[in-house]
């Protein structure tokens, strides 16, 4: 599964897990690190961590284990790197502070 299919699968999983305010940015023309960046929010650190844990489980179940997962300890901002798609799962206040959508738009 590559690029757009992987993005669609990840977004479907995030919606199923009740992630909030899901935004998809196509970054392939701006960076070589990935084709898409998906940004979403959780309602609490526990929700952010649960979203990340369940997303990683679903990716592994599809035999698409993430390259890396960062930020699980604090759970204010967890990054799940799936190669062609990078997922940022953030608390709303963290997301508002860093404004990744504005930075990458």
Cα dihedral sign for 31, 17, 75, 61? negative
Q: Are 95 and 103 in contact (CB under 8 A)?
A: no
CATH class of 3-104: alpha beta
Phi/psi-derived region of residue 75, left when phi > 0, alpha when psi is between -120 and 50, beta in every other case: left
Domain extents for the chain? 3-104
Report phi then psi at 20, rounded to 5. -110, 155
What's the average pLDDT block by block, 10 residues per block, for the chain (105 residues)? 89 96 92 92 96 96 94 93 95 95 83
Strands 36-41 and 20-26: antiparallel
Enumerate the H helices of 17-91 as residue ranges. Answer: 45-61
């Amino acid at each position: 599964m590559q690029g757009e299919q992987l993005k669609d699968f990840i977004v479907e999983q995030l919606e199923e897990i009740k992630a909030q305010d899901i935004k998809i940015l196509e970054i392939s023309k701006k960076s070589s690190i990935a084709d898409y960046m998906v940004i979403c929010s959780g309602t609490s650190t526990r929700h952010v961590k649960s979203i990340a844990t369940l997303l990683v489980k679903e990716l592994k179940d599809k035999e698409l284990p993430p390259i890396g997962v960062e930020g699980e300890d604090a759970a204010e901002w967890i990054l799940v790197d799936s190669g062609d798609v990078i997922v940022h799962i953030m608390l709303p206040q963290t997301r508002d502070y860093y404004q990744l959508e504005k930075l990458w738009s």
